[in-house]
Structure 1
Amino acid sequence: MWATGLGSGVRALTTTRFGGHSRPPFDSLNLGIHVGDDPAAVQSNRLSLAGVLPANPVWLNQVHGVDVLQADRVQSDQEPVTADAAVTTRTRQVLAILTADCMPVVLADTRNRILGVAHAGWRGLARGVLAHTVQEMAMRTDGQSRIHAWIGPGIGPDAFQIGPEVRETFLEIDGRLEKFFRRDSSQQGKWLADLPGIARWQLLQLGACDVQWCGLCTMGDPDNRFFSYRRDGQTGRIATLAWIET
């Protein structure tokens, strides 16, 4: 699926789990090399993307942290750098984020032609991965920016059940985030968290002028188009890929 609302010179897409070479439980377009799948199948799956991408993606070793890779300094064929976000100003440089419930976030500064991507699960949101990404993008401007953001498929607000400790983590950061949590009537002591809502709120606080969520839940998608770690345990990874086209 293609992202929207990022500006005329930016392209971004998220893969589904269909159309690849991996066998269950990674069936079939698994793009994660670290999940226990046959490496040859993953490589075949990544090669199948070549027809829709202008270059090989810059893959990351994601650890739910806040480090941001300056992708202009690396070659796409080098070993993945440990980071949970990346930025580029280079035309046709493809950035990639792997997910299976966490949210992929694409940020495009249309004023300065800067692109960022971030891996945003609840730990990343709480630790400030979006703020770090926006700050890294701002270092390449004269102080003025116009950031549009797109939040791709991730676990939705009706599916992400948490314990009270996760809610308290966010409320300690900012009490105004309370509106993104509601009690789960199906299990005492549990809450449902609206991660897309938190991500959108954080981005608007950081100065983004427009933030869109695609509205798709990886865990509850009726067509089972996405991998979901929360639902399946051992499973594959979809990829969100973005680049500056012109």
Structure 2
Amino acid sequence: MTLEILTADSLAPLRHGFFTRKGGASSGIFAGLNCGTGSSDQTEIVAINRARVAEAMGVAADQLTGVHQVHSSDAVSITAPLDPKPKADGLVTATRGVALSVLTADCQPVLFADAQAGVIGAAHAGWKGAQAGILEATIDAMTDLGAARENIHAVIGPTISQRAYEVGPEFFDIFLDEDPENTRFFAGGDGDRMHFDLPGYGLMRLRAAGIASAEWTRHCTYFDPDRFYSYRRSVHHKDPDYGRLISSIVL
């Protein structure tokens, strides 16, 4: 099966993609393009999937690089793949041929580009990382490499939508304490439950950072199981594990 790669005009002409689960070698609950080395999927099968992504990105398999994601606000600047992977949730480079990547399964995958300066970035932004400042940290790391804030374009890929993201009152309080205006990212649910707009919150943070543009592809991971892995859906289905989607960009 052919890989399905979602792209955005604002990141052109740079090669990039938010990969769906289509076109992979994994089976069972991981069926498709599971690129999560931290999953319980077969190591050799994950390697095959990642090699297919690297080929689609036009790089050697060992040039598809990421970080050890920990829901932090840390972004690292790299010139080559690092081993071991640093604990971080954003990575940037001005080096050609190094494909930056992040893994997600409901959290926001965000790709960044200043094509004029030749600087790119990628971030894994769940609610913790987004609130802690990972999006701004990635932008700052790009400007340290020579990117101009007003020329940086950012795109949020497939992530969990507000309709699927039910949270409790303690979650609401965390965001209310940050800024009372964050109430606009919550909609009423059953009883004391609410629904949180993660991509809406991410877009607000990106736009407030003063970059050229920020958009969301408007794909929900939870409600499209044929195309996307979803951690929350796996919990609801009582699956023992779940696959990870990959998003990547290269100069």
TM-score by length of 1: 0.91
Report the 3-state secondary structure (helix = DSSP H, G, I; strand = E; otherwise coil) of the residue aligned with 2:232: helix
**Cα separation, 2, equivalents of 1:228 and 1:143:** 34
Distance 1:224 1:8 in 2: 27
Give the one of 195, 200, 218 matched to 1:197.
Answer: 200
CA distance in 2, matches of 1:137, 1:217: 28
Which deviations, in whole Å up to 9, do the C-alpha atoms of 1:206-226 show, x marking residues without a partner? 0022111101000012x6210
Give the direction of change, closer, same or farther, for the CA distance of 1:165–1:88 in structure 2 (3 Å limit). Answer: same
Q: Give the match for residue 15 of structure 1.
A: 19
State how many pairs are aligned: 239
Percentage identity across paired residues of the two chains? 33
Cα pair 2:120 2:250 within 8 Å, conserved? yes
Q: Give the Cα–Cα distance (whole angstroms) in 2 for the partners of residues 127 and 102 of structure 1.
A: 14
* Secondary structure in 2 matching 1:47: helix
| Structure richer in helix, relative to its length | 2
* Secondary structure class of the residue paired with 2:174: helix
Residue of structure 1 equivalent to 2:55: 51
Write the letter of the residue equivalent to 1:71: I
Runs (4+) off by over 4 Å: none
2:36 maps to which of 32, 37, 42: 32
1:60 match: secondary structure: coil
Deviation at 1:144, TM superposition (A): 5.5
SS at match of 1:232: helix
Residue 142 to residue 25, structure 1, CA distance change in 2 (3 Å): closer
In the other structure, the counterpart of 1:75 is: 81
Superposed CA RMSD in Å reads 1.7
Distance in 1, matches of 2:19 and 2:139, equals 24
TM-score computed with the length of structure 2 as normaliser: 0.89
Q: How do 1:96-135 residues align onto structure 2 when only pairs under 5 Å count? A: 96-135=101-140
Question: Post-superposition shift, 1:11?
Answer: 2.1
CA distance in 2, matches of 1:143, 1:152: 22
Give the whole-Å Cα distance in 1 for the aligned partners of 2:102 and 2:148. 27
Q: Secondary structure at the match of 1:25?
A: helix
Q: Is the 8 A contact 2:105 2:159 kept in 1?
A: yes
Structure 2 stretches lacking a partner, 5+ long: 236-240
How many Å separate the matches in 1 of 2:116 and 2:47? Answer: 36
Tell me what 2:227 maps to. 225
Secondary structure of the 2:173 match is helix
Report the residue type matching 1:230 in the other structure: R
